[in-house]
Structure 1
Amino acid sequence: MTHAPQIKIPATYMRGGTSKGVFFRLEDLPEAARVPGPARDALLMRVIGSPDPYGKHTDGMGGATSSTSKCVIISKSTQPGHDVDYLYGQVSIDTAFVDWSGNCGNLSTAVGPFAIANGFIDKARLPENGVFPVKVWQANIGKTIICHVPVTNGEVQETGDFELDGVTFPAAEIVLEFIDPADEGEGEGGGAMFPTGNLTDRLEVPGVGTLEVTMINAGIPTVFVNAKDIGYTGTELQDAINGDPAALARFETIRAHGAVRMGLIKDVADAAKRQHTPKVAFVAPPADYATSSGKRIAAADIDLHVRALSMGKLHHAMMGTCAVAIGTAAAIPGTLVNRAAGGGARTAVRFGHPSGTLRVGAEAASENGQWVVRKAIMSRSARVLMEGAVRVPADFHAG
């Protein structure tokens, strides 16, 4: 029996925000993986090391968490006025599945630096020193993101003194603008920001009860619930949720029924094949708490608490796309997020999460009876961790 050598694929391992993933240029992928389909999914799963029944990703680049089981494919943009197309794949850890249904807001931060460093931007356009706005087409959801990347001596600046809770070391600040971030799902509202047409709804969840929820399509489809309605304070850290299988099952049930109500799936059974969206998050008014690193946060330093689940587990910080949903909902009086933050009109909110705090701005307005948001803004950071080539067995597509 002959054994073919592994193939080498140029790749960059990057941190973006509080996530990290493997970045590829589309043209560097094996030909069969340059188009959507089983071969592409098989390749990304093999790169990450999934499916892994041990839940460790020992034989791959993944980190066995929703924040680190990610792949990104970048190509020259097909959209007028944009620099690159950005396609994001969330790789399941223990099942053979890649979810393409949404974006990763954290890794969006790294797309701009990757585009500059990999020749997608004409060097003549770059300032010698300053900030360059990389215009990104987010291909999963059909939205524009502007990545304001600092440039020093004509190259991407990665180091700096910007501190991001959930990330150990400081780096250069990158400002992200999510343009018209409301998703256009197929909910009862015909693709409106609020798919049912309501700022709050009563959601019947078997085994849990009838919950007041805010369901919003902005950044990423998200179902918000009040922490107190499900037995929490809103100051919980990861172990309080992730160490409780019954709690995780309840959250997944809430998520599945919310997905049906939002029109994202037709039956709760379909939720297993749409793990990345929607997100489910719980909110609470501000209160003193200690972060996962032991840092004390005073109630006066935040507007509210938010905890969100990603791929079935409580996130260690906050997903960037969910932060857009939080900022948008906070700007609209009457949503659960806005009420938890104290109500009233606002254009920015600072919320507490397990690793610390995050500020996100959004400006919403009611137009012709529909709520719209034109832009959401937040600051993150990104850094190249390793670059070169990943290796995978030549028969990756055979499973």
Structure 2
Amino acid sequence: MTQSQQIKIPATYMRGGTSKGVFFRLQDLPESCQKAGAARDRLFMRVIGSPDPYAKHIDGMGGATSSTSKCVILSKSSQPEHDVDYLYGQVSIDKAFVDWSGNCGNLSTAAGAFAIHAGLVDAARIPQNGICVVRIWQANINKTIIAHVPVTNGQVQELGDFELDGVTFPAAEIVLEFLDPADEGEGDAGGSMFPTGNLIDDLDVPNMGTLKATMITAGIPTVFVNAEDIGYTGTELQEAINSDAKALAKFEAIRVAGALRMGLIKHPDEALTRQHTPKIAFVAQPKDYISSSGKQVKASDVDLLVRALSMGKLHHAMMGTAAVAIGTAAAVSGTLVNLAAGGGERQAVRFGHPSGTLRVGAEAKQVNGEWTVTKAIMSRSARIIMEGVVRVPADTM
């Protein structure tokens, strides 16, 4: 029998938007985990409870969904004019890897709040009452996020009356600005927001034929297809897709084909350890439907419908980074997202997702023939659920 003991690591369990994750200060991690590598990955997997062949995360902090299998590291920023560096790890549920290829937009909200809670923001920049502007360097994708965090009596105000579809209880509103969110670092097209150079492509998908697709790298690399082209209406809830193994396999085939076309991977096998990106989403024109909470969403309430998959399953609401992609694509006349919303120029869009609706704004323009986006804006909320220490076996690292 092993005689290894458990060690204690300071940690905070937070909800951010429609996601939850375990937050750490870099300085609190074991020395071997303060730098990227296998030791850090093993630690995060053990904290979450992965890999779990039962897909339940009984022996960890994860919730066995893509929205709840997340870890975050924050530290004083290494970048000028920024408060904190924010690094995000998406932990696979049933396989032994952590995907570092993208950001989590929902937990970006909690990153701003946690930065204040954890003493990582200069006290001189925190008002006694008002809004604290937290300047976040998103280290996965090298982008700036500005979080406008409400403060009362010098502390983060977590409670309020802001309601977010997909979250049970109201909380205080945090406004996020994603600055210059188009990806500049990946794909054969370099800094192009549309890595193929087209607003709509013919995407060849094995065993499915050719699909119209918009592929964009704003917020997070995302492949958009039309719902009707793949046999859906855009009103589907999780159980309609997540219980259908054949449907999930088709979505994965679309995702892999898109990743190859966008230059994110060079061989299909690479997609096995890159599940976080790209995202796959399908869009449709507005229709009436009943959300997962039983709330009626009317066609007149939204500009379009969007359903998106994360880590191989239909998301219960909408990923924050995918919302940035939706808002950006909607702002560019001629994309599938823009056409589903009625076409034309727009600076904001409200879309229907499985849990309800969400509004996101984006400012896009053409410069020298290339589309660019200066910022995307949306509101979320965040709350500490538990704080203290998380225990892991000492031999984990």
TM-score by length of 2: 0.99
Amino acid at match of 1:23: F
Give the Cα separation in 2 of the matches to 1:87 and 1:277: 16
Residue 152 of structure 2 corresponds to: 152
Describe the shift of the 1:230–1:28 C-alpha distance in structure 2 as closer, same or farther (beyond 3 A): same
After the TM superposition, which parts of structure 1 deviate over 4 Å for at least 4 consecutive aligned residues?
none
> Is the Cα contact below 8 Å between 2:305 and 2:353 reproduced in 1?
yes
Amino acid at match of 2:63: G
Q: Deviations over 1:18-56 (max 9, x none)?
A: 000000000100110000000000000000000000000
Amino acid at match of 1:375: K
> Is the Cα contact below 8 Å between 1:130 and 1:150 reproduced in 2?
yes
Residue 243 of structure 1 corresponds to: 243
Which shifted more, 116-125 or 5-14?
116-125
Amino acid at match of 1:241: I
Which shifted more, 188-197 or 318-327?
188-197
Cα deviation, residue 127, structure 1: 1.0
Residue 308 of structure 1 corresponds to: 308
Residue 119 of structure 2 corresponds to: 119
Cα deviation, residue 323, structure 1: 0.1
Give the Cα separation in 2 of the matches to 1:290 and 1:114: 34
Q: Deviations over 1:41-99 (max 9, x none)?
A: 00000000000000000000000000000000001100000000000000000000100
Q: Deviations over 1:273-319 (max 9, x none)?
A: 11000000000000000000110011000000000000000000000
Give the Cα separation in 2 of the matches to 1:111 and 1:188: 31
Give the Cα separation in 1 of the matches to 2:367 and 2:154: 43
Give the Cα separation in 2 of the matches to 1:83 and 1:134: 6
Give the Cα separation in 2 of the matches to 1:382 and 1:170: 10
> Is the Cα contact below 8 Å between 1:102 and 1:141 reproduced in 2?
yes
> Is the Cα contact below 8 Å between 1:77 and 1:84 reproduced in 2?
yes
Give the Cα separation in 2 of the matches to 1:189 and 1:137: 24
Residue 323 of structure 1 corresponds to: 323
2:209 maps to 1:209 = yes
Gaps of 5+ in 2: none
Query: What are the equivalent positions in structure 2 for 1:1-399 lying under 5 Å apart?
Result: 3-397=3-397
Amino acid at match of 1:279: K
Give the Cα separation in 1 of the matches to 2:344 and 2:257: 29
SS of the counterpart of 1:183? coil
Q: Alignment identity in percent?
A: 77
Amino acid at match of 2:317: A
Describe the shift of the 1:185–1:209 C-alpha distance in structure 2 as closer, same or farther (beyond 3 A): farther
- What do you get for the CA RMSD once the two structures are aligned? 0.7
Amino acid at match of 2:72: V
Cα deviation, residue 270, structure 1: 1.0
Give the Cα separation in 2 of the matches to 1:267 and 1:372: 28
Give the Cα separation in 1 of the matches to 2:132 and 2:186: 35
Cα deviation, residue 121, structure 1: 1.4
Q: Deviations over 1:152-184 (max 9, x none)?
A: 011100000000000000000000000000011
Amino acid at match of 1:334: G
SS of the counterpart of 1:342? coil
Give the Cα separation in 1 of the matches to 2:171 and 2:93: 29
The count of corresponding residues between Structure 1 and Structure 2 is 397
Amino acid at match of 1:85: D
Give the Cα separation in 1 of the matches to 2:185 and 2:229: 27
SS of the counterpart of 1:193? coil
Give the Cα separation in 1 of the matches to 2:46 and 2:187: 34
Amino acid at match of 1:211: L
Give the Cα separation in 2 of the matches to 1:219 and 1:384: 25
Amino acid at match of 1:221: P
> Is the Cα contact below 8 Å between 1:185 and 1:264 reproduced in 2?
no
Amino acid at match of 1:46: R
Give the Cα separation in 1 of the matches to 2:358 and 2:388: 33
> Is the Cα contact below 8 Å between 2:83 and 2:122 reproduced in 1?
no
SS of the counterpart of 2:363? strand
Give the Cα separation in 2 of the matches to 1:245 and 1:191: 36
Cα deviation, residue 186, structure 1: 3.3
Cα deviation, residue 128, structure 1: 1.1
TM-score by length of 1: 0.99
SS of the counterpart of 1:218? coil
Cα deviation, residue 185, structure 1: 4.0
> Is the Cα contact below 8 Å between 1:223 and 1:281 reproduced in 2?
yes
Describe the shift of the 1:124–1:196 C-alpha distance in structure 2 as closer, same or farther (beyond 3 A): same
